[in-house]
Amino acid sequence: MDFIHFFFLSALLFVIGVGGVVLNRTNIVVVLMSLELSLLAVSLNFIIFSVCLSDLIGQIFAIFILIVAACESSIGLAIILVYFRVRGSIRIDQASLLKS
């Protein structure tokens, strides 16, 4: 089986996720979504490697990453919520209070 295509796929997903984080300048929820995407790409990578190398540890890691991603997105959404309550907006380009 040619694993290299799966690796390319996960790498492409990761790059898309990172690109979404970096290039997005308005909506912070999209940033969170892109982060989820890159985390998914990472866990996909782990699973592909565990199959490729016949090692279960990769799949265990993928489960842990899912758990961490869930926690992270819930906390992140909570922070966004609190932020929205205070500012009334979730635009990233307006969140530049901590300038040099």
Partner 1 sequence: MYLNIVFLPLLGSIIAGFFGRFVGVYGSCFITVFCVGLTFCLSCLSFYEVGLAGSGTYLSLMTWLESDSFYVEWAFCFDSLTVVMLIVVTFISTLVHIYSTEYMGGDPHLPRFVSYLSLFTFFMLILVTADNFVQMFVGWEGVGLCSYLLINFWFTRIQANKAAIKAMIVNRIGDFGLALGIFAIFICFGALDYATVFAFSPQLTSCTLSFLNIKFKALDLIGVLLFIGAVGKSAQLGLHTWLPDAMEGPTPVSALIHAATMVTAGVFLLARCSPLLEYCSGALLLISVVGGMTAFFAATTALVQNDLKRVIAYSTCSQLGYMVFACGLSNYSVAVFHLANHAFFKALLFLSAGSVIHAVGDEQDMRKMGGLRRLLPFTYAMMVIGSLALMGMPFLTGFYSKDVILEIAYATYSIPAHFSYWLGSLAAFCTAFYSIRLIALCFLVEPNGSRKLLLSASEGGKAIGFVLGLLAIPSIFVGYFSRDLFIGLGTHFWGSSLFCLPSNLSLIDAEFMSTFSKMLPLCLSIVGGALSFTLYRYYNYNMYFWKTSLVGRKFYTFLSRKWFFDKIYNGFISQNILDFGYHFTYKSIDRGLIESLGPFGLSNVLTSQVQQARVWHSGYLYHYLVIFVWGNLLFGLWFLFGFPSLRIGVLLLFSILWLTL
Write out the residues near partner 1 by the rule CB under 8 A. Answer: 18, 21-25, 31, 92-93, 95-100
Q: How far is the CB of 96 from partner 1 (least distance, A)?
A: 3
Q: What is the radius of gyration, based on Cα positions, of the chain? A: 17
Q: Which is nearer to partner 1, 31 or 48 (CB)?
A: 31
Q: Which is nearer to partner 1, 18 or 52 (CB)?
A: 18
Q: Are 66 and 40 in contact (CB under 8 A)?
A: no
Q: How far is the CB of 80 from partner 1 (least distance, A)?
A: 13
* CA gap 23, 93 in Å, rounded: 12
Q: Identify residue 98 by its one-letter amino acid code.
A: L
